[in-house]
Structure 1
Amino acid sequence: MSLELDARQRAMLLEMGVTVWAPAPAAAPAAPPTNEAAPVTRPAPAATPARPAAQAAAAPPPTTRRQAPTQAAAPTPAAAMAQAGGLLLRPPIALYPQADPTATPPELGSGWLVLLESPTPAEPLAGDSGQLLDNMLRAMRLHRHPRCFVATLSQPQPGRPAEGEPPAAGLQQALTTLRPAMVLVLGLGAARVVLGSREPLGRLRASAHQLADGTPAVVSYDPAYLLRAPEAKAAAWIDLCRALALVRRQPGA
């Protein structure tokens, strides 16, 4: 009696070290011939004859019209700020002129200038965003400083006389007149206009800046954005504390 092992079983036994003496299975019978017709092989299409060399040489090569590149002169930083978004800078407004200068905390420095875009440029403390701005400045105790100013950036109204001047000239005049200890720049639009940078707001907030005359500046969120994203208020408060710390370290503060 012999075991009927297929090829797989024989291979497994050999792999285990078992000698198989059973005869190998008989080869399977050949498949009977079929009456199916063999597949017809179609001849490959004839290749398109190449154009004669003389004809190819006679045909003119295709031409493409290229416009000479024009290189515009890179704008200066002042021109870039003046042209940024077509914004105009209004003259600074004293926010708390009734504050007693003798009661102003000395660590607040000689004065502050706040720059931002405002939906109510003539009344920067009006509306919800203006109220939030007032709360932010009061938390910094700037309501006790008579030299806390705000200058708003706004788009010219069509059909109305433009109020304000290009940001570069307006900012330079404000810095020369007010000599603030700190410029607080609120919002991405204002930061790009003032600093002449295309960096995102996160990078602009990451460090302090210096304006052309050496005045320090700190960038943070604008009140309108904080109304839409209240979760960013904690980060904005960190920015305001950084500005206070920089002023506190100034000589004479």
Structure 2
Amino acid sequence: MWTPPASSTAPLPLLAQAPAARVQTSPKAATGPAPTPAHRMPAQPANTIERVAAVSAWTIQAPRLLYPQADPSQAPLALGAGWLVVAEAFAPDDPLAEGAERLLHAMLHALQLHRHPRVGLCSVSAGAEPGAQAADAAMAEHVAAFAPAVVLVMGRSAMQAALGRREPLGKLRGETLALAGVPVVVTFDARFLLRNAASKSVAWADLCRARALAGRSSANAPVP
């Protein structure tokens, strides 16, 4: 399940450990030009999106576009107006990072998201006190600014940061959730799925639900 396309000889680097926290001046900047995703991101020009917002224990990276070269006219209608994926950043020394990035890459491709130019990624990382207050207010600002059709929250850490919830992830799967008025779907992250392959079918059901919500949101959008 979720095999990368034949043309892909290496994983598309997606998540990197967030840099030291700096206050983001305006979440609207998240909709502007974004750097090419990079695992363990190298230094970027000043005009690219690398600013982060930190609230208590969580650092949240502003959304960066994953597939800015995609042709908008070729984006499948079922994917809606855009997606925002929220996932925990990979630590540089994480032995599962490479495999997890390959799997996440394959999951997004299975949804055809690589054909959509408005797929943003928010990576989150925990500070020194993981039990402290979550950064859900900051995340809501990013969602409002990016205006996706659906938010896909992957993993318990991302769930805590994005939603401020402390329940087991399994209890929130399938629930009706929203951030800034945008539907939210919670599912397992790629690192968990590497160790629990039996849960891939369950995660795929979550991804299909997110796609259905995105398409429904697009169909209900007012005609300009």
The one of 180, 188, 207 aligned to 2:156: 188
How much has 1:206 moved relative to structure 2?
Answer: 2.7
1:136-170 superposed Cα distances (whole Å, 9 cap, x missing partner) = 0110110100100111011359xxxxxxxx83354
1:5-45 superposed Cα distances (whole Å, 9 cap, x missing partner) = xxxxxxxxxxxxxxxxxxxxxxxxxxxxxxxxxxxxxxxxx
Structure 2 Cα separation of the partners of residues 208 and 139 of structure 1: 24
Structure 2 Cα separation of the partners of residues 90 and 251 of structure 1: 26
SS at match of 1:218: strand
Native 8 Å contact 2:63 2:146 kept in 1: no
1:1-253 matches, within 5 Å, as 82-83=55-56, 86-120=57-91, 127-156=98-127, 167-211=135-179, 213-252=180-219
Native 8 Å contact 2:70 2:115 kept in 1: yes
Q: Which amino acid aligns with 1:167?
A: A
- TM-score after normalising by structure 2: 0.65
How much has 1:97 moved relative to structure 2?
Answer: 1.0
How much has 1:182 moved relative to structure 2?
Answer: 0.4
Structure 2 Cα separation of the partners of residues 251 and 190 of structure 1: 25
Structure 1 Cα separation of the partners of residues 91 and 207 of structure 2: 23
Question: Which ranges of structure 1 fall in alignment gaps of 5 or more residues?
Answer: 1-80, 158-165
Higher relative contact order (CA 8 A, sep 6+): 2
Structure 2 Cα separation of the partners of residues 130 and 146 of structure 1: 20
SS at match of 2:171: helix
Structure 1 Cα separation of the partners of residues 65 and 160 of structure 2: 24
1:80-123 superposed Cα distances (whole Å, 9 cap, x missing partner) = x944xx120011111111111110011211110000102159xx
1:157-195 superposed Cα distances (whole Å, 9 cap, x missing partner) = 9xxxxxxxx833541332232100000000011112222
How much has 1:208 moved relative to structure 2?
Answer: 3.0
Structure 1 Cα separation of the partners of residues 210 and 140 of structure 2: 20
Native 8 Å contact 1:114 1:150 kept in 2: yes
SS at match of 2:217: coil
Structure 1 Cα separation of the partners of residues 59 and 90 of structure 2: 13
Query: 2:31 maps to which residue?
Result: none
Identity across aligned pairs (percent)? 42
Q: Which has the larger radius of gyration?
A: 1
Q: How many residues align?
A: 158
